[in-house]
């Protein structure tokens, strides 16, 4: 793919945005999935949804179907949600099960991915059942959040998070007390990079969110310290949580929210969701 129309500029005074075609050309989606979304840690759900052995939920990472399950030994596993025979989807939604059974041909898999049985295969020669196990992927957790990485060689989640957990704890945000309350999907009809560009940049904050920076004086010309930025985001999250949960029984008005986003199979569609603590 030709990327010669853009050169990254580390000098922010000379930086420019990506070319328009990088947002609009569908050809960019395939390499973005392969090089970005399938090689990084993606949040897929909550530990609360996998409390008991056999609990599972199905989802996908940028179009790659997976099933997250807690096996009989209590270990979290992430498996390909594609049957090894004719590629049918195996699990849908969420629930509790002892095995994973493909609804198309009845192939049955253990919760660690091993193929346990396949109907009408008596007499089949030159095949190895052990070789037909579902592919497994990496899964790790941080507080109540479950993360999945499709790349076996990617850095560990703790390495990627760095000092974020420590900084969050230092602000008084105990993520271990976050509990799943509800999910609201917001389907945004834009390329995912448009959403991220707007979510990450702070240029719009003084005009669009003046309350977020109310503690900073107008005489400040230098960028605020990183800890002030984080604190401001937490304060904003608490205000947003109060508005979001107004009238909702059981939600703590001052609890921090967690937002995450999922890339749709369509290059111009994006989904965002949030969770909150309850108590």
Q: Report the pLDDT averaged over residues 179-191.
A: 84
pLDDT of residue 248: 37
CB 1 within 8 A of CB 31: yes
Q: Report the pLDDT averaged over residues 171-196.
A: 86
pLDDT of residue 228: 43
Report the alpha-carbon distance of residue 19 to residue 12 in Å, rounded: 17
Report the alpha-carbon distance of residue 137 to residue 180 in Å, rounded: 24
Q: How confident is the model at residue 267 (pLDDT cuts 50, 70, 90)?
A: very low
Q: Report the pLDDT averaged over residues 126-139.
A: 94
The CATH class, in words, for 42-159 is: mainly beta
Query: Would you list the DSSP string of 150-177?
Result: S-TTSPPHHHHHTTHHHHHHHTT--GGG
Torsion of Cα atoms, 275 then 53 then 156 then 37, to 10°: -60
pLDDT of residue 123: 87
Place of tokens 């059942």: 129
Give domain limits for the chain: 42-159, 165-276
Q: Report the pLDDT averaged over residues 262-279.
A: 43
pLDDT of residue 85: 95
pLDDT of residue 140: 98
Place of tokens 């009408």: 120
More confident residue, 60 or 277: 60
Structure tokens at 151: 């790349």
Report the alpha-carbon distance of residue 77 to residue 70 in Å, rounded: 6
Per-residue pLDDT reduced to its tens digit, 188-243:
888 999 988 888 888 888 888 887 767 554 445 454 444 444 433 433 333 333 33
Q: Report the pLDDT averaged over residues 181-193.
A: 86
pLDDT of residue 276: 41
Tell which residue, 148, 185, 121, has the closest CA to residue 58.
148
> Would you say residue 145 has pLDDT above 80?
yes
More confident residue, 105 or 253: 105
pTM, rounded to two decimals: 0.75
> Would you say residue 48 has pLDDT above 50?
yes
Q: How confident is the model at residue 29 (pLDDT cuts 50, 70, 90)?
A: very high
Query: Would you list the DSSP string of the chain?
Result: ---TT----SSGGG--PPPTHHHH-GGGHHHHIIIIITSS-EEEEEGGGG-STTEEEEEEETTEEEEEEE-TTS-EEEEE-B-TTTT-B---SEEE-SSEE-TTT--EE-TTS-EEE-TT-TT--S--GGGGPPPEEEEEEETTEEEEES-TTSPPHHHHHTTHHHHHHHTT--GGG--------EEE-S-HHHHHHHHH--TTHHHH-GGGGTTS-TT--SPPPHHHHHHHHHHHHHHHHHHHTTT-TTB-TT--EEEEEEE-SSTT-EEEEEEE-B-
Report the alpha-carbon distance of residue 58 to residue 56 in Å, rounded: 7
Report the alpha-carbon distance of residue 200 to residue 222 in Å, rounded: 19
Report the alpha-carbon distance of residue 195 to residue 94 in Å, rounded: 28
Q: How confident is the model at residue 249 (pLDDT cuts 50, 70, 90)?
A: very low
pLDDT of residue 176: 86
Query: How crowded is residue 100: how many other Cβ atoms within 10 Å of its Cβ?
Result: 22
Cβ neighbors of 122 (< 8 A, separation 6 or more) are: none
How many percent of the chain have pLDDT more than 70? 76
> Would you say residue 279 has pLDDT above 60?
no
């Amino acid at each position: 793919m030709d990327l010669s129309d853009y050169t990254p500029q580390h000098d922010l005074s000379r930086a420019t945005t990506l070319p328009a075609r990088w947002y609009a050309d569908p050809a960019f989606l395939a390499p973005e999935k392969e090089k970005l979304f399938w090689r990084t840690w993606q949040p897929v759900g909550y530990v609360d949804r996998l409390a008991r052995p056999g609990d599972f939920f199905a989802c996908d990472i940028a179009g790659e179907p997976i099933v997250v399950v807690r096996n009989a030994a209590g270990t979290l596993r992430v498996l390909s949600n594609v049957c090894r025979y004719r590629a049918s989807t195996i699990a849908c939604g969420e629930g509790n099960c002892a095995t994973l059974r493909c609804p198309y041909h009845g192939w049955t898999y253990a919760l660690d991915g091993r193929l346990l049985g396949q109907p009408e295969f008596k007499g089949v020669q030159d095949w190895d059942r052990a070789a037909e196990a579902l592919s497994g992927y990496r899964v790790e957790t941080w507080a109540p959040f479950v993360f999945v990485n499709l790349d076996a060689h990617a850095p560990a989640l703790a390495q990627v998070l760095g000092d974020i957990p420590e900084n969050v704890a230092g602000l008084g945000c105990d993520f271990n007390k976050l509990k799943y309350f509800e999910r609201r999907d917001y389907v945004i009809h834009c390329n995912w990079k448009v959403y991220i560009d707007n979510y990450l940049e702070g240029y719009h904050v003084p005009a669009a969110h003046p309350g977020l920076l109310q503690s900073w004086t107008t005489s400040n010309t230098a960028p605020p310290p990183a800890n002030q930025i984080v604190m401001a985001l937490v304060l904003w999250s608490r205000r947003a949580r109060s508005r979001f949960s107004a009238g909702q029984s059981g939600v703590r008005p001052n609890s921090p929210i967690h937002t995450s986003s999922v890339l749709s199979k369509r290059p111009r569609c994006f989904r965002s969701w949030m969770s909150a603590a309850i108590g």
